Structure 1
Amino acid sequence: MAHFNSRNPCLHSIAPPRRARWPLSLLAAAALLSACGGEDNPAATAGSHASVGQALAPATPMSGTLPPEKDTPDAVPASQPPAIDCDAQANDTDERLLECVTLAGVRAHQTELMNIAKAHRGTRLAGTRGHLASLRYVQKVLTDAGYRVKVQRFQFPVPRVEASSLRMAGQVAGEEIPHLVLDYSGSAALTAGVTPTAGPRGCAAPDYAGFPHGQIALVRRGGCELTDKVLAAVAAGAVGMVIHNDDDGPLSGQLTVQAPLDVPVVLVSKTVGEQLLQRPLLGAPLQLQTQTSRSLGTSYNLIAESTGGDPSYVTMAGAHLDSVRAGAGINDNGSGVAALLETARQMARVAPKNRLRFAFWGAEEQGLIGSTHYVRTLPAAERAKLGLYLNFDMIGSPNHVFELYGGDGSAGEQAVSSPLLSAKIVDVFERFYADRGFASRRVSSGARSDHKPFADIGVPFGGIFTGAEQIKTAEEAKTWGGTAGEPYDACYHRACDTLDNVNEEALDVNADLVAHTLLFYAMQRLAP
């Protein structure tokens, strides 16, 4: 998930999180995990997908008959409200649904995703067994809830790093500079001078003003997606890139499939970056060599649909299920997944006017591959039934802001789609925050999350976001709390994106927003 650019906010305070008032039915996650066992090897998964495909065959469509209601409980004194039974009642009002979509329920799903990652080398990367176990978990939850569940298989490029070298020209092999070749880096062997960017982050063309053609760009991490830095540098004439950390954290990160095949890109520590910026080394020739390749692997989307509702008008919502290689991805995007999954579970007994469709995308981190495959393979007649798409990606960042975007132009020129209708979706988000005393702001989402393929075919869309690598300003800290001068999510695309990497107050608010918006558009259609 990419971070978005910001606009000016207004003031608010954070409400305390709601807690569960009833026990959450625990799902058999351990059995799901054991079914996935074995070693994670992204390069090897492509050759072992026959059995996986059988194991993830589309679930048998569920009947339209829901399980019977539980017996009416014994009468309670008139002074006491009746007990809430979320697993039996139809949560068809805002009050009922928001009582049942609890922080505890959402966190329980995040805990299962964390346990899955722990059992599979710390990752839920697309093409690994960690992602497959995540898929099976979501499949069971939604099948048990009574949805029609299907799994869509697709192929995507799996990156491999075969060899690399980074040293100052003239140094011997033993004097290698420690580095990490980023996934989807290109291959090349070159010797060229090193030139830092003119701008602070190297995210856009102005940051490369006066950049000499044929040099290796030295760029500080942060401010935008790593792939965006590479594309901007190549457009300015760079032949390679060295990105240095902006903190003392470990080396981790990845590009997407959009990165050029012939441009080597490596990541170095903050200390090495500072050394390269020193005057005797600045501009000195650097030897950079990477040998990489890409082969086809397999991943999956999971699509769940209600049995009721008008099939000619589909209200669709999605969240990407995969993580990056470096970590479990509990905020990116276990937060969006958990909120959407718990909302779907609690809406299982609702009789919607519109058909509901929930999507859990694969290979988003590689470049929106799963959602793009879904949209491209959707027949024209089915595309015409899509009334709107809601995107939930990173909604519990630890040093959060409340941001919203849509096809009304607030998402930027790259993702304008049915602007009048999209504006209505964003208005629903904005009113939700305002009615609860929270500030929010519209931001440019660009093309870096799963709303983009839907925007490309004209589907109205909207989404929310709580921030990634960008630095929180003092004004933002006054508005949303948190720490100025620190990233919204310092663990973005890193191993520390665990259960501890979530702001529970922000996640609780946004889980309510997910539930409120889905129920609203389950019962209403967008109209000009």
Structure 2
Amino acid sequence: MVKVQRRWAPVGIGMAAGLLMVGVGLTPAMAVDPEDLEDRVTVAGVRAHLDALQAIATANGGNRAAGTTGYEASGQYIEQVLTAAGYKPVRHDFEATTQSIDDYSLAIDGITFTDDEDGDGAPGPLGLPMEFTPSTPVAGLTDVPLIAPAVATGCDDSEWGDVDATGQIAIVSRGVCAFSEKSAAAGRAGALAVIVYNTEAVPLAGTLGEQTPDLIPSVGILPSQGQTILAAMALGPVTADLQLQQTVSVIQTFNITADTPTGNPENTVMLGAHLDSVLEGPGINDNGSGSAAILETAVQLAASGPLTNRVRFAWWGAEELGLFGSADYVAGLVEQEETDDIVTYLNFDMIGSPNYVISVYDADESTYEAPVEVPAGSIETEDALTDYFDEIGQPWIDTAFDGRSDYDAFISAGIAASGLFTGADDVKTADEAALFGGTVGEAHDQNYHSAGDDIDNINDTALGIMIGAIAHVTAEFANDVSGIPGAVLAPVPPTPTPTPTPILAIADPELLAESGGEAETAWGAGATLLLGLGVLTLVAARRRTRIS
């Protein structure tokens, strides 16, 4: 192990008619004032970007989804604003796999369900096809018996036991393993399709991750529906009809990144937000709000002078299709062995919800146990955000550190992360209303993933609170990340020692130290004496001494 010890040492003294002090080495970066940056990142500035994104959606079929003209125009807007501010934005092209459901229906013979699982305001259809589910035969499955495994979760062959599901539709519980494992296990048991009932009282919109030959048509339903079906099966045979036709396609899309021109690249602080919307709407809160916030932060940071640490801004593509953009980008970091350069990543996904909460990703697991491994440095990143809120007297709550947004790829690669969130389709509680106001019993964003997520869906109060935190913490980290594990101290290159002049012997620190003082202390005393005479030109540089 090598220990680096730094000390000030004299490298040259000369005679002069007056007094002059000159510092040699790296010119220190100017600190960014967090309060000043916070003042300059305004709701009006962010709103201007949101207006532009709304106009783009309006002109492009009502959305800005990945792979569409609306997304391309959104990307061009981000690039134009960044370029005007002095950045050199970079596009990162990648492919994303998407699926469309062309025909779907599920009916359980003799049982009627009236739940509105797809959220369109009308009952039915029963259940939700899982993402990347295979299709049924074109004619569908008609009057097919239902069967359950020996163990409700049906995760593997042992949980199916001696149950023969040949030619039947399996019904299994959520939990223990991935949906793809349940689908594959049911298929090996002979099932033609699988229905998975949730363990939480919400619709089950699951994903199989990708289509593989071992999977069978897979659907998610509510827990109450699952229990109703199982109760009927306990009384006798139950049959079902299932029609599921889907199409998988590959689209070309992109991310955008931009780096500040100054700042230590080994201490890169990264801010990210997904730029794409869903096909159903313009996505102004989800996630124009995060995209516009970090864009305005980038613009104002560019006017703040040199930075100590590099800041990188990222706008992700295809988040709504499965976090594809951020995953592709981090895979590139891993391949190029550049993950260590990212000290921390801050994610901003939906920060202007109309019935908002002010929440921070719970890296320290003080409220929610994380279902993922929390990388070192994430707690310190969370603390920076919560400390800001505490300092201004702003209430906040935790949101689960569960990787359900673009920070997932970062934490999977061991990169510290945290972020902010004002809520999606979760319902506001009385406790939340006591802290933040709003309407109890309504979703944080009633227009989540719908055509109503337009420019009128933004709550300026929530937006103002969140952009204050973003700007303040960005400036703090641009100045100093020493509190985050993994940060490195920017090295100062040694300065060549000039040829000593004869006067150097007069102020030799070792000779001055013979009186009993430390060499550095004696040197300081001697230098002070010569300065008092007005005849010293002192040039000092950091010299590093390595000690094994």
Q: What band does the TM-score fall into relative to the shorter chain? A: 0.5 to 0.7
Q: Is 2:32–2:478's contact at 8 Å kept on the other side of the alignment? A: no
Aligned length: 410
Q: Is 1:429–1:517's contact at 8 Å kept on the other side of the alignment? A: yes
2:258 counterpart of 1:317: no
Matches within 5 A, 1:158-237: 158-167=98-107, 184-189=132-137, 190=141, 191-193=144-146
Q: RMSD across aligned C-alpha pairs, in angstroms?
A: 4.2
Q: Is 2:96–2:252's contact at 8 Å kept on the other side of the alignment? A: yes
Which one of the candidate residues 334, 340, 351 is aligned to 2:294? 340
1:129 deviates by: 1.4
1:218 deviates by: 11
Matches within 5 A, 1:273-288: 284-288=238-242
Distance in 1, matches of 2:398 and 2:185, equals 30
Q: Is 2:263–2:309's contact at 8 Å kept on the other side of the alignment? A: yes
2:308 counterpart of 1:359: no
> Could you say which residue in structure 1 is the equivalent of 2:347?
391
Q: Is 2:130–2:207's contact at 8 Å kept on the other side of the alignment? A: no
Partner SS, residue 426 of structure 2: coil
Select the structure with the greater relative contact order (CA < 8 A; seq sep ≥ 6): 2
- One-letter amino acid of the structure 2 residue matched with residue 187 of structure 1: S
Q: Is 1:194–1:286's contact at 8 Å kept on the other side of the alignment? A: no
In structure 1, runs of 5+ residues without a counterpart are 1-89, 172-176, 196-201, 203-211, 220-227
- One-letter amino acid of the structure 2 residue matched with residue 258 of structure 1: G
Distance in 1, matches of 2:93 and 2:309, equals 26
Distance in 1, matches of 2:462 and 2:184, equals 38
Cα distance 1:239–1:444, how it changes in 2: closer, same or farther (>3 A)?
A: same
2:209 counterpart of 1:258: yes
> Could you say which residue in structure 1 is the equivalent of 2:424?
468
- One-letter amino acid of the structure 1 residue matched with residue 135 of structure 2: S
> Could you say which residue in structure 2 is the equivalent of 1:510?
466
1:429 deviates by: 0.9
Partner SS, residue 186 of structure 1: coil
Runs of 4+ residues deviating >2 angstroms: 160-171, 177-186, 188-195, 212-219, 228-238, 240-243, 252-257, 259-269, 279-286, 379-382, 406-419
Q: Is 1:424–1:526's contact at 8 Å kept on the other side of the alignment? A: no
- One-letter amino acid of the structure 2 residue matched with residue 315 of structure 1: V
Distance in 1, matches of 2:59 and 2:91, equals 23
Distance in 2, matches of 1:473 and 1:99, equals 32
2:341 counterpart of 1:401: no
Cα distance 1:192–1:463, how it changes in 2: closer, same or farther (>3 A)?
A: farther
> Could you say which residue in structure 2 is the equivalent of 1:435?
391
Bigger Cα Rg: 2
1:291 deviates by: 2.2
Q: Percent identity?
A: 37
Partner SS, residue 333 of structure 1: helix
Which has the larger displacement, 514-523 or 287-296? 287-296
Which one of the candidate residues 118, 123, 128 is aligned to 2:58? 118
TM-score when scaled to structure 2? 0.65
Post-superposition CA distance 1:273-306 (Å, at most 9, x none)? 89x99x9999953311212232322110101111
In structure 2, runs of 5+ residues without a counterpart are 1-29, 112-123, 154-162, 187-192, 486-548
Matches within 5 A, 1:147-166: 147-166=87-106
Q: Is 1:330–1:501's contact at 8 Å kept on the other side of the alignment? A: yes
Which one of the candidate residues 512, 517, 521 is aligned to 2:477? 521
Distance in 2, matches of 1:181 and 1:417, equals 31
Matches within 5 A, 1:300-315: 300-315=254-269
Cα distance 1:516–1:365, how it changes in 2: closer, same or farther (>3 A)?
A: same
Partner SS, residue 500 of structure 1: helix
1:164 deviates by: 4.0
Partner SS, residue 331 of structure 1: helix
1:184 deviates by: 3.5
Distance in 2, matches of 1:320 and 1:478, equals 30
Which has the larger displacement, 471-480 or 513-522? 471-480
Distance in 2, matches of 1:122 and 1:325, equals 8
Cα distance 1:234–1:486, how it changes in 2: closer, same or farther (>3 A)?
A: farther
Q: Is 1:161–1:183's contact at 8 Å kept on the other side of the alignment? A: no
Q: Is 2:130–2:208's contact at 8 Å kept on the other side of the alignment? A: no
TM-score when scaled to structure 1? 0.67
Distance in 1, matches of 2:295 and 2:444, equals 24
